[in-house]
Amino acid sequence: MGTGAQASRVLRELASGECDLVIGTHRLLSKDVRFKNLGLLVVDEEQRFGVTHKEHIKELSRGVDVLTLTATPIPRTLNMAMSGIRDMSTIEEPPEDRQPVQTFVLEHDWGVVSDAIRRELQRGGQVYYLHNRIEDIERTARRLRELLDDDATIAVAHGQMDKQQLAAVMDAVVSGETQILVCTTIIETGIDIPNVNTLIIEDADRLGLAQLHQIRGRVGRSTRRASAYLTFRRDKVLTEDAEKRLNAIRDFAAFGSGMKIAMRDLEIRGAGSLLGAEQSGHMVDVGYDMYMKLLSEAVLEARGIAPPQRADCSADLAVAANIPERYIESSEQRMDIYRRIALIRTEEEADDLTDELIDRFGETPPGVNALIHVALLRGEAGRAGITDIAQKNGCLRYTVADFDMEKVSALYARPEYNKRLRVEAGSKPCLSVKILNKARVIDEARRFAADWGKGV
């Protein structure tokens, strides 16, 4: 809000090097801004910058240290951090004596709204009522006055007000003179009023997941327990993505949930293009597993590290391994869980995903447990140098990358493989082991993979 003369003076001092530190808005990304020797660039609220701004930041930051801050990284940024292209650290310790915001998702009901407002006013607090349509925001304010019988002072704030008007309204809220602020998403960032501890959002299904998390963060900024009511129109049929967003914002209400919300946003929207303009999108052309494999190899190569040569193992077993529709009804969610199970390679990864499934959908059925154990088998067999496992004619046939007769001889000598193990010759020699218990075929395959990997 500085004058033109003040802005011109700052630009001259930046270009000459007289100014050591400058704090500004998107204005710093304008073409007429020149730095004599830029050394550190800090970008706060990174999710609010568009692709054009980020491309300009990229140009500015050649040879410059860059620190970006955000409560909810956009899918592309999060994917880059998880892939190793960017370094990432998280702050998980909440401020002292803060409490998580109670979050409710419900159809809009004026009775529930008025009760929630009255409860907050009775304990001396204030309320944000978010109505994101400027054309009828005054009508909403009048409706609230009628409901509350003029028991409360109500003000309106939106982005089309001039700065003096807006400043006066916000001063009245900060001082406590205004008890209810009917507003647009203008409150999303930069607002810190500890006495406001109830938030009501109309048409919450129209807002993005990261945006909902940011707006919810405007309440609960004191030691009091805050409440957020995310409402949608009565009898409205929500789209699948909108339902996922609202479920996610309700489920992830604890401190440190920003990263979990960003992860869910990544699942819903896709990772986007790392080199192009899309900040979200899907990787269906090559498949998620292949995409992540190629990306991790490229990152290691750029760092001068040779990618690990690990044999991939396929497994074709006669076991009932699937995710039943009655367990996860949504086909998109089922496909997502299938992909995530396929990526499991260690017991720790299996335990983490199992805990999440139990938390989200209930106890895992036998078919899901079998899928996870098959994924573990593929990981263990791959590390042991086994490239293929197939169940056929009562035997498990193992194809190995390097056929070692010493290992075969050592296995022959073990009593548990006596009269069960044989070598099948051919263009690709393989090992065949007779199955003892068809009900425990995965356990037998994992045991053999472990024995072959040990070389005994």
pLDDT attached to residue 38:
86
Beta-carbon count within 10 A of 204 CB = 25
Predicted confidence band of residue 237 (pLDDT cuts 50, 70, 90): confident
Asked if 331 and 406 sit in the same domain, the reply is: yes
Residue where one domain finishes, among candidates 210, 231, 253 = 253
Asked if 64 and 141 sit in the same domain, the reply is: no
Q: Is residue 270 part of a domain?
A: no
Max mean pLDDT among 268-282, 286-300, 390-404 falls in 390-404
pLDDT attached to residue 106:
92
Q: Which helix (H) or strand (E) holds 286?
A: none
Asked if 129 and 203 sit in the same domain, the reply is: yes
Q: Give residue-wise pLDDT tens across range 33-70.
A: 888 888 888 888 877 776 667 667 767 667 788 888 87
pLDDT attached to residue 242:
85
More confident residue, 271 or 5: 5
pLDDT attached to residue 66:
81
Q: State the total domains in the chain.
A: 3
Predicted confidence band of residue 137 (pLDDT cuts 50, 70, 90): very high
Q: Is residue 301 part of a domain?
A: no
- DSSP labels for 377-434? HHHHHHHHTEEEEEEETTEEEEEESS--HHHHHHHHTSGGGTTTEEEE-SSS-EEEEE
Asked if 244 and 107 sit in the same domain, the reply is: yes
Question: Does residue 128 register a pLDDT over 70?
Answer: yes
Q: Is residue 134 part of a domain?
A: yes
Angle at 135 between CA 129 and CA 139, to 5 degrees: 55
Q: Which two tokens stand for residue 305?
A: 């590290």
Q: From CA 181, how far away is CA 314, in angstroms rounded?
A: 60
Predicted confidence band of residue 283 (pLDDT cuts 50, 70, 90): very low
Asked if 123 and 210 sit in the same domain, the reply is: yes
Q: Is residue 258 part of a domain?
A: no
pLDDT average, residue stretch 434-443: 85
Q: From CA 410, how far away is CA 314, in angstroms rounded?
A: 25
pLDDT average, residue stretch 100-113: 93
Asked if 245 and 322 sit in the same domain, the reply is: no
Strands 430-434 and 421-424, sheet pairing: antiparallel
Query: What domain range is 181 assigned to?
Result: 102-253
Beta-carbon count within 10 A of 444 CB = 18
pTM: 0.57
What CATH number should be reported for the domain holding residue 336? 3.90.1150.50
Question: Taking a C-beta distance cutoff of 8 angstroms, is the pair 391, 316 a contact?
Answer: yes
Q: Give residue-wise pLDDT tens across range 396-414.
A: 989 888 888 888 888 888 8
Region of poorest pLDDT, from 76-90, 148-162, 248-262, 267-281: 267-281
Predicted confidence band of residue 93 (pLDDT cuts 50, 70, 90): confident
What CATH number should be reported for the domain holding residue 138? 3.40.50.300
Asked if 112 and 62 sit in the same domain, the reply is: no
Question: Does residue 282 register a pLDDT over 80?
Answer: no
pLDDT average, residue stretch 320-346: 82
Question: Does residue 361 register a pLDDT over 80?
Answer: yes
Q: What residues pair up with 181 in beta bridges, in sequence order?
A: 128, 155
The CA radius of gyration of the chain, in Å to the nearest whole number, is 29
Question: Taking a C-beta distance cutoff of 8 angstroms, is the pair 129, 196 a contact?
Answer: no
Asked if 223 and 365 sit in the same domain, the reply is: no
Which of 101, 130, 129, 100 lies closest to 116, judged by CA? 129
Question: Does residue 238 register a pLDDT over 80?
Answer: yes
Please report which residue ranges of 127-257 form alpha helices under DSSP H: 137-148, 163-175, 209-216, 240-251
Q: Is residue 438 part of a domain?
A: yes
Q: From CA 398, how far away is CA 452, in angstroms rounded?
A: 10
Predicted confidence band of residue 133 (pLDDT cuts 50, 70, 90): very high
Asked if 138 and 203 sit in the same domain, the reply is: yes
Q: From CA 334, how far away is CA 332, in angstroms rounded?
A: 5
Q: From CA 327, how far away is CA 361, in angstroms rounded?
A: 7
Question: Does residue 157 register a pLDDT over 60?
Answer: yes
> Buried b / exposed e across 363-374, counting CB within 10 Å, b at 16+?
ebbeebbbbbbb
Asked if 248 and 337 sit in the same domain, the reply is: no
Q: How far is CA 52 from CA 29, 193, 282, in A?
A: 10, 33, 21
pLDDT average, residue stretch 247-260: 74
Predicted confidence band of residue 274 (pLDDT cuts 50, 70, 90): very low
Predicted confidence band of residue 76 (pLDDT cuts 50, 70, 90): low
Predicted confidence band of residue 258 (pLDDT cuts 50, 70, 90): low
C-alpha 278: how far from chain center: 17
More confident residue, 422 or 312: 422
Q: Which residues contact 50 (CB under 8 A, 6 or more apart)?
A: none
